[in-house]
Amino acid sequence: MIDIVFIGDEVSAAGFRLAGARVNVPVSGRETEVFEAARREARLLLLTAEIAACLPPTLLSRAMIAARPLLLVMPDIRMRQQPLDLSRLVRAQLGIET
């Protein structure tokens, strides 16, 4: 089993590769296939928000609540897509924040 897998843009991937992570920069349309393969192999899966936006929402939701692998959705270096702010969504649901 691979410890860390990063899926995202090529610029961010270069940094994660230097840090020892296995990286994958999927071509357009292959994001789901690459994501599913990484879920089977990784202990920690790092995913840019841009790639996460390309995945089917139900697939991403199931992966986020799964015990393994741990999944972190993060902004990409170009900041084109921001990850969801889950704490804000929870506060809004509770009526604490709009």
Tens digits of per-residue pLDDT, 10-28?
Answer: 999 999 999 999 999 999 9
What are 17-75's pLDDT values in tens digits? 999 999 999 999 999 999 999 999 999 999 999 999 999 999 998 998 898 999 999 88
User: How many other CB atoms sit within 10 Å of the CB of residue 77?
Assistant: 16
Domain boundaries, the chain: 2-94
Q: Are 44 and 5 in contact (CB under 8 A)?
A: yes
pTM of the predicted structure, to 2 decimals? 0.79
What distance in Å separates the CA atoms of residue 20 and residue 54, rounded to the nearest whole number?
25
What distance in Å separates the CA atoms of residue 88 and residue 98, rounded to the nearest whole number?
9
What distance in Å separates the CA atoms of residue 12 and residue 17, rounded to the nearest whole number?
9
- Residue 90: pLDDT band by 50, 70, 90 thresholds? low
Question: What architecture does CATH give domain 2-94?
Answer: 3-Layer(aba) Sandwich (3.40)
**5: which 2 tokens?**
């897998």
pLDDT above 70 for 89: no
Write down the number of H helices and E strands in the chain: 5, 4
Strand-pairing partners, residue 6, are 23, 46
